[in-house]
């Protein structure tokens, strides 16, 4: 399809202006077809950027290796360019939007010389859903086109819904490496130096401008850029929620169904929980989404959620048949792997995949690699942030409702972090405002080795949204509180805090996690079903009674008491840390209601 076929006059004009600025050699409007996807993959193979994998063992799969400078989100080069710096808040990088657009316009000038410009119309959420939003990404990367085919709904059907005057989020992207006449990439990943990389968001004009990176959320602009940073602003202005949350469907042995969302910082088992295989007999968990939830209120007053994505962009290292069997089954075909290791039989390997490296590998940098288990200094074969991009429809546990345009009704929110002490296994909020307080203090304990900080320091990540909120987080907390104030409290989801990562004095995990987390989900399910005799009210919320959660093998009665106790002294330290180090960051915009919750918990702990 070419530009002249575009029916939306505003979109057509925007694309024509981009062509004039970026001067590509050719322009294509993506139609979303399988043929188009196959052609993008062939282009990347033919230019040496992609390696086809074993068609018998991993049919339809390819491997990419990015440049070592282009392997992750670049938070230091990610900007929220609101008109007022105060609107961006203390947790975002800010540049004046006029100044930033001037800088980036010069970078974009001629940036696609020697390349093809691809125009990608995409829907975040089922096409035509009242909760979905449309974006259009302009890019010069066939890698991005192929990944967007998996991660969003792309093509003609999106343009049909957009019509002649519909709303869309315009997204510029370029790898930032124009080609001279006759020049080719010759297998080298195209990107710009770090100081030329920009991932920029303009909240008032609902625009995304990305330059210089071809990797992940820096380049797949439907993901974090639109689905969280811009969508969080749209949600604030329109009265809904755009959250960094999984969505799961849980069915009890009687056939009753509930839908639960959950927000967790990185490395806290979010994707594993979304695809959990229960150990409890008769219980079933199915996946609606593993990373992002958009939620709006239905006519019945309940909150309905969609997964705005169509695929999984998951971290490979640590994914294995024990931690996430359903993810492993999902990525056996039609999957794009980036920065994992290549085996001699053209399959893939990564650290903690569940078995030793099968002989000589090619590591993520393209060098030969032989596993030396005695060498603790050996560099990993797969980059720690190596990824797989797999279609959600291939997941064995995908819920039948995952593409329901009206969404699924949410009964509970879960918040959690990696906390070896203080925070109990599960804790139900006393009220909506108490739950918002719990979400606002989410954090994980980090080691000195990891971040060069004092051991035991809590890295706070409120609502797991710290890198993804498109505006001041004080206003974000206020938005959550207003959602509770404006809607029927009996129809709002209940809010819970979970912690799978408690350790004993010997430093070993007390709770086995993974599929055993279904035991905690079962208690949450019952609480949402109105069961009241399975909990006790404490200073920090409602905790399960001693026998309310069935114990997995290896977990003693003493362990359960430890997992479910209120650590008075630990919580006093927690409250002090929030009061002295965390809440002051948000200044005058921190809602008074949260300080009131802080005071109330402190008073109850001292009672």
CB 583, CB 590: distance < 8 Å: yes
Q: What are phi and psi of 344, to 5 degrees?
A: -65, -25
Q: What distance in Å separates the CA atoms of residue 91 and residue 589, rounded to the nearest whole number?
A: 13
Token pair belonging to 318: 């640590």
**Sign of the four-CA dihedral 381, 394, 246, 147:** positive
Q: How far is CA 304 from CA 298, 387, 582, in A?
A: 6, 30, 31
Q: What distance in Å separates the CA atoms of residue 462 and residue 543, rounded to the nearest whole number?
A: 22
Strand, coil or helix: what is 254?
Answer: coil
Q: What distance in Å separates the CA atoms of residue 296 and residue 302, rounded to the nearest whole number?
A: 8
Residues in the chain: 607
Rg for the chain, CA atoms, rounded: 24
CB 314, CB 336: distance < 8 Å: no
Please calculate the CA angle 157-405-311 and round it to the nearest 5 degrees.
70
3-state secondary structure 151-162: HCEECHHHHHHH
Strand, coil or helix: what is 529?
Answer: coil
Q: What distance in Å separates the CA atoms of residue 131 and residue 38, rounded to the nearest whole number?
A: 30
Q: What distance in Å separates the CA atoms of residue 30 and residue 119, rounded to the nearest whole number?
A: 6
Q: What is the full DSSP assignment across 271-303?
A: HHHHT----STT-EEEEEESS-EEEEE-TTS-E
**Residue of 58, 57, 41 lying closest to 150 (CA atoms):** 41
Give the list of residues 6+ apart from residue 386 with CB closer than 8 angstroms, or none.
315, 316, 317, 337, 338, 339, 340, 350, 364
Q: What distance in Å separates the CA atoms of residue 189 and residue 142, rounded to the nearest whole number?
A: 12
Q: What distance in Å separates the CA atoms of residue 168 and residue 135, rounded to the nearest whole number?
A: 5
- The answer to whether 268 is a known catalytic residue is yes
Token pair belonging to 58: 């991993």
Ramachandran quadrant class, 346 (left: phi over 0; alpha: psi -120 to 50; beta: rest) = left
Q: What are phi and psi of 149, to 5 degrees?
A: -55, -35
Give the list of residues 6+ apart from residue 196 with CB closer than 8 angstroms, or none.
107, 176, 211, 212
Give the list of residues 6+ apart from residue 80 with CB closer than 8 angstroms, or none.
88, 89, 92, 93, 94, 201, 203, 229, 470, 471
| Residue of 61, 111, 225, 268 marked catalytic | 268
Catalytic (active-site) positions: 268
């Amino acid at each position: 399809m070419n530009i002249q076929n575009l029916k939306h006059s505003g979109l057509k004009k925007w694309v024509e202006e981009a062509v004039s600025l970026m001067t590509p050699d050719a322009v294509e409007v993506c139609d979303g077809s399988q043929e188009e996807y196959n052609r993008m993959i062939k282009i990347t193979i033919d230019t040496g950027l992609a390696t086809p994998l074993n068609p018998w063992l991993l049919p339809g799969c390819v491997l990419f290796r990015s440049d070592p400078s282009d392997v992750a989100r670049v938070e230091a080069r990610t900007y929220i360019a609101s008109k007022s710096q105060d609107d961006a808040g203390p947790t975002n990088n800010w540049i004046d939007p006029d100044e930033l657009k001037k800088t980036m316009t010069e970078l974009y000038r001629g940036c696609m010389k020697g390349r093809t410009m691809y125009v990608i119309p995409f829907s975040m959420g089922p096409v035509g859903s009242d909760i979905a939003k449309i974006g259009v990404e302009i890019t010069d990367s066939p890698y991005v086109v192929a990944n967007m085919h998996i991660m969003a709904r792309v093509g003609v059907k999106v343009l049909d819904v957009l019509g002649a005057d519909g709303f869309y989020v315009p997204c510029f992207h370029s790898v930032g490496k124009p080609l001279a006449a006759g020049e080719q990439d010759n297998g080298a990943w195209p990107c710009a130096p770090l100081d030329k990389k920009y991932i920029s968001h303009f909240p008032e004009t609902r625009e995304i401008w990305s330059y210089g990176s071809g990797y992940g959320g820096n380049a797949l602009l439907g993901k974090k850029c639109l689905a969280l940073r811009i969508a969080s602003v749209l949600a604030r202005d329109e009265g809904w929620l755009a959250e960094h949350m999984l969505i799961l469907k849980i069915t009890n042995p009687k056939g009753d169904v509930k839908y639960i969302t959950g927000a967790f910082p990185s490395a806290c088992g979010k994707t594993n929980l979304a695809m959990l295989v229960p150990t409890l007999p008769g219980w079933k968990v199915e996946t609606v989404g593993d990373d992002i939830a958009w939620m709006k209120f239905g006519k019945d007053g309940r909150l309905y959620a969609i997964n705005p994505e169509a695929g999984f962009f998951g971290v490979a290292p640590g994914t294995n048949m024990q931690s996430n069997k359903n993810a492993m089954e999902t990525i056996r075909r039609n999957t794009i792997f980036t920065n994992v290791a290549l085996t001699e039989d053209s399959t893939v390997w990564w650290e903690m995949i569940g078995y030793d490296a099968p002989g000589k590998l090619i590591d993520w940098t393209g060098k030969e690699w032989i596993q030396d288990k005695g060498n603790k200094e050996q560099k990993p074969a797969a980059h720690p942030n190596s990824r797989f991009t797999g279609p959600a429809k291939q997941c064995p546990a995908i819920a039948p409702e995952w593409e329901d345009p009206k969404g699924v009704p949410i009964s509970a929110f879960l918040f959690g972090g990696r906390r070896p002490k203080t925070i109990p296994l599960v804790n139900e909020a006393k009220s909506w405002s108490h739950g918002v307080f719990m979400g606002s203090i989410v954090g994980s304990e980090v080691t000195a080795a990891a971040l060069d900080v004092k051991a035991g320091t809590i890295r706070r990540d409120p609502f797991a949204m710290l890198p993804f909120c498109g505006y001041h987080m004080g206003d974000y907390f206020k938005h959550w509180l207003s959602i509770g104030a404006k809607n029927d409290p009996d129809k709002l989801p209940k809010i819970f805090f979970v912690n799978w990562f408690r350790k004993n004095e010997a430093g070993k995990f007390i709770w086995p996690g993974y599929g055993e987390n279904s035991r905690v989900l079962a208690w949450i399910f019952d609480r949402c079903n109105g069961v009241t005799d399975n909990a006790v009210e404490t200073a920090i919320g409602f905790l399960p009674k001693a026998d309310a959660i069935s114990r997995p093998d290896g977990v003693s009665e003493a362990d359960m008491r430890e997992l479910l106790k209120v650590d008075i002294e630990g919580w006093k330290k927690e409250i002090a840390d929030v009061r002295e180090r965390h809440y002051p960051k948000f200044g005058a915009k921190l809602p008074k209601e949260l300080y009131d919750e802080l005071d109330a918990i402190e008073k109850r702990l001292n009672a």
